[in-house]
Structure 1
Amino acid sequence: MVQGIARFFTQVVHRFLPDPLIFAILLTLVTIGLALGLTPHSPSDLVLMWGSGFWNLLAFSMQMAMILVTGHALASSGPVKRGLAALAGAARTPGQAVMLVALLAAIACAINWGFGLVLGAMFAREVARRVKGTDYRLLVAAAYMGFLTWHGGLSGSVPLVAATKGNPMEKVIGLIPVSQTIFTGYNAFITIGLIVMLPILTRLMMPRPDEVVSVDPALLVDEPNEERKLGPDATFAERIEESRILSIVVALLIAGYLSVRFSTKGFSLDIDTVNIVFLGVGILLHKTPMGYARAVGKAARGTAGIMIQFPFYAGIQATMDHSGLAGIITNWFIDISNVHTFPLLAFLSSAVINFAVPSGGGHWVVQGPFVMPAAKALGADLGKSAMAIAYGEAWTNMAQPFWALPALAIAGLGVRDIMGYCVTALLFSGAIFVAGMYLF
């Protein structure tokens, strides 16, 4: 049955899902059209909102570009390639291959979403090299499905922001400690349930042998070693460029910075921390600064989708927020809820809004002012209400190509190659999210 569902959605996606850039443009037009019909703003107001917010995600876009290039460059280093190869050797059959990728990605994303997103894609490539006859599309989809666990893990944006002083909702509902969100029985059930379910689900999705799409060998060609061997006539400039000492110095500077930061401010693994760790380890493993620069240069070719598409989502998010459209959609769900149905309806409202605002932190800013006061007025569990926002965002990421872009760039695939499998994961994972919120 699962195989048939996955086959159906794969066919539908291949026929109807446009390129992610076209998806973003169409979503822009839909958002402006809805705002025009449902809010009192004029076309000129909405266009101004969209244009004014177009560059709001520049810093975030750079973060995502950096995690792609630093992660890719790290993976191309000799020691990491050997480590991934050794781990991939645990899989002997295509079934074991997809299950192993899904398991590793889900665990890694629960630890840190940026780390898991990159590691999963890198590992999928390595497993494809090792296990012949595995459907490469499903391997990469399995890596992206692990992203379902991120909001229930240690780097979940909504629960961490809700517990942080100065967040937008502190004056309205106070702080929500992580003991009421991340470290709860229902969240443990959901996160562990996903980690257990996803490998099994991907195994059941495996296509028939005659439908397997093997990887293009060109995508998996080992990249050449970026280290240069200098001759006796090398100039001073060349020797400095290929100096291992400078790489060690940079790595020590980064290690020193992280040690001081963690000792004074406590341990936190945000996206900037992941990036600087990737950079420091990468430059050390590539041995020389210019060797690392050459590896980054090759990796940077995959950032085109991020640079062109993320500004469109920034414009969409600004339009949803400033026009009040996000509040209208959220209130549609809140108005028909009671204390018992509130978590489910908050979850569903977040899932809908995620197509236009695919950001965990963005959801807290856009939906928090509507969902959390309503939860307080109804007497609903505030921690569970906040997590319902988070879970809805994580859930429909399986049908929203925004977060798949870095993984696809590393894997060398397009969104239509994996999204049918991801939509199937969306259907089955929804039951775990809902069960966790109502059984505990």
Structure 2
Amino acid sequence: MTRPDSAALRARMMTLHPAEMDLSLDRVHRLLTTLGNPERNLPPVVHIAGTNGKGSTLAMLRAGLEAADQRVHAYTSPNLVRFNERIRLAGAEIDEPTLVDVLSDTLNANGAAEITYFEATTIAAFLAFSRVPADTLLLEVGLGGRLDVTNVIEAPQLTVITPVSYDHQDFLGDTLAQIAAEKAGILKRGVPCVLGPQEDEALEVIEQHAARLGVPLLAHGQHWHVWEERGRLVFQDETGLLDLPMPVLRGPHQIMNAGTALAALRHLGHDEPACAAAITRAEWPARMQRLRTGPLVAAAPGVELWLDGGHNIAAGAALAETLRAMPARPTHLICGMLDNKDCAGFLAALAPLVRGLQAVGIPDTAHAARPEDIVCAAEANDIPAETAPSVAEALARIIAAQPDARVLICGSLYLAGHVLTENG
């Protein structure tokens, strides 16, 4: 009998989704118990929550830890091109045989019981992490924090909360305070937390949770500071000052993400070479990524082509800040989003910086926004916009009107993954 591949196993997991969704950890604890609680047999965990910057911060932490000769597991979501991207075992993406093993074991233990896709695949990741030795596990929260699958870790080594802003309001709440309370759910009694820059409303809530649990906070603006000075990144905490190169990940917002990663590395006892590697060796696709090869680039030789998966109001503001810091060039957007995102809010900060927008759908993606709705959101921000049947056609239209354009493909990690796949 032919053994099913990982795609077939993940398709089976999709069929187990509860008829009525409830945000709880009951299903997770049930299945973990059946599997012998692999979440209790993991290397020291750094647990990372936040609205924006989680992935970039994790990528920098991974680069720094690996430069210090650590074997590092990492868990992130969603993937861009291949599911295997989500699970890194001791420095490498999980291979197909190992992935099939842990998915099969998870499905067999679960049987026909209801469970969500993210719950099941995260539990499979815990199985993989428990079976391969490593020095550290970098664990990114999927949604929120308090009721996220990853929050079954009872005693992490360190927690990290990157900037909290508006996203997933249908699950996390309509106010910044409510969203921050969900993120603060990853705090554990007595376990230190590195805190990235926060709005006052979010900071107050996180500080209250920390005080109740006796959590030592290492907060931006209080315990550590980071800034750019003469083309260098300067970081200062109670240990001293670091004078480092600028982050290889582009955008002014990456300075704060770098600071968060550096604060975590310093707390974990790592030296200046590890800190320098964190910000100069980090790789994180679809975060203001310059596309330099592939069919899209070949079809647009005079165009500067960029790709970013940011999709909420804060991400739009960060992209605008990044564009503003770049040399002036006529800028156009190719935008595709999910229908549960605030498209008008995402585009608001970008509006003064762009000449026009081509709205596209996202192929093979549930809940993709209709291009017509994206056009309406763009026009509400006074951005000239029209729909296009594909990214390639959108790019061709921009080239015809503006051969020397800067083009930013943006609005969704799912769109970014499609572009990376199609562009080779």
- Report the TM range for the smaller structure's normalisation: under 0.3
Please state which structure has a larger fraction of its residues in helix.
1
Please state which structure has a larger fraction of its residues in strand.
2
TM-score, structure 1 as length reference: 0.25
Q: Indicate the structure (1 or 2) with the bigger Cα radius of gyration.
A: 1
TM-score, structure 2 as length reference: 0.26
